[in-house]
Amino acid sequence: MSSIRVLVTGAAGKMGKEIVKAVTRDEQLSLVGACDVAEVGRDAGEVAGVGKIGVVIESKLKKALTDTSPEVIIDFTHAQAFRENLEVYLESLQKGISLVVGTTGLKEEEVERLRQASEAGHAGCVVAPNFAIGAVLMMYFARIASKFMRGVEIIEMHHPQKKDAPSGTAVKTALSIPKVEGEALSQSEELYPGARGALVNGIRVHSIRLPGLVAHQEVIFGDEGQTLTIRHDSLSRASFMPGVIMAVKEAVSKKHFIFGLEPILGLEGE
């Protein structure tokens, strides 16, 4: 069985380097292309710290696609960079090339365009706010807990370089909780605007950005005389790699649109 041909966009970034490492270590995958605006012309393996692998970082995505003919593209960049490549991704999906997207801060209409292109080209496309399996389980447990406890707030904590706030995971968590009374229960008046955090689906979401953090989230439930805290911590970017590799293989084999890792893990029914 031949290995799956992978192209990584954002290969010189912090997440991109981890993805390059993970792809090169998986026997079922083969890194054939790498694209970034940084480290152009350098070997992607050397940039990632795994030694030469014979894949040079290109600056132009279209050229990288033409030269390498990948079966799947992985994009972990930032929202603006993703938008600059969006038309190329839509065209690729329509041609049957699969796509895995970990970039957050995307608009609903952009995700919908990816869905439509995926269906039109019968190509797999996985878009997920968080690829850490533990984070997906955190959201799953939170949905269960929301059926039994009245109040809930979310605290998400990330490194200062994160471009968006609240995080995609926090937003997805809030949107996935079907019923909550937390905001209705609150009688606090904000003495300073924003003190109570952002409202997402009626749930207060608080964003913290500090050096030393990677990606962390607490979902705190409260009810009469008790609280319940569901917390997930990503202590390094390696925590996202099992989910990324799983998504790549699922995208290539299933050839349809998937939002979040829940359907891949069999959790979408809850």
Express each pLDDT in 100-143 by its tens digit.
999 888 899 999 999 999 999 999 999 998 899 999 999 999 99
Report d(CA 67, CA 6) in Å as an integer.
12
Q: What is the mean pLDDT of the chain?
A: 93
Percent share of the chain, pLDDT over 90: 83
CB-count burial class (<10 Å; 0-12, 13-18, 19+) for 192:
exposed
Mean pLDDT in residue range 197-203: 92
Residue numbers in the known binding site for (S)-2,3,4,5-tetrahydrodipicolinate are 159, 168-169
Residue numbers in the known binding site are 10-15, 39, 42, 102-104, 128-131, 159, 168-169
pLDDT at position 180 over 80:
no
Q: What integer pLDDT is reported at residue 244 of this predicted model?
A: 97
Q: Which residues are catalytic?
A: 158, 162
Residue numbers in the known binding site for NADP(+) are 42
Mean pLDDT in residue range 207-217: 95
Q: What integer pLDDT is reported at residue 151 of this predicted model?
A: 92
pLDDT at position 75 over 90:
yes
pLDDT at position 33 over 90:
yes
pLDDT band at 185 (very low <50, low <70, confident <90, very high): low
**Domain 4-127+238-265 CATH class label:** alpha beta
Q: What integer pLDDT is reported at residue 104 of this predicted model?
A: 82
Token readout for 269 is 């029914």
- Contact criterion met (CB below 8 Å) for 102 and 131: yes
pLDDT at position 227 over 80:
yes
Please give the backbone phi and psi of residue 67, each rounded to the nearest 5 degrees, phi first.
-75, -30
Q: HSE, CB side, 13 Å, CA atoms: give it for residue 211.
A: 0
- Of residues 187 and 75, more confidence is placed in 75
Mean pLDDT in residue range 199-219: 95
Q: What integer pLDDT is reported at residue 183 of this predicted model?
A: 66
Domain 133-235 has CATH 3.30.360.10: yes
Q: What integer pLDDT is reported at residue 163 of this predicted model?
A: 81
Could you tell me which of 110, 102, 78, 97 has the C-alpha nearest to residue 260? 102
pLDDT band at 184 (very low <50, low <70, confident <90, very high): low
pLDDT at position 167 over 80:
yes
CB-count burial class (<10 Å; 0-12, 13-18, 19+) for 5:
middle
Mean pLDDT in residue range 82-110: 94
Domain boundaries, the chain: 4-127+238-265, 133-235
Q: In what order do the strands lie in the sheet with 57-58?
A: 57-58, 29-35, 4-9, 72-75, 98-101, 125-127, 257-259
Q: What integer pLDDT is reported at residue 145 of this predicted model?
A: 94
Mean pLDDT in residue range 244-255: 95
Scanning 129-232, the segments in alpha helix (DSSP H) are 133-145, 168-176, 182-185
pLDDT at position 36 over 80:
yes
Residue numbers in the known binding site for NAD(+) are 10-15, 39, 102-104, 128-131
Report d(CA 72, CA 260) in Å as an integer.
17
Q: What integer pLDDT is reported at residue 1 of this predicted model?
A: 59
Token readout for 180 is 């909550």
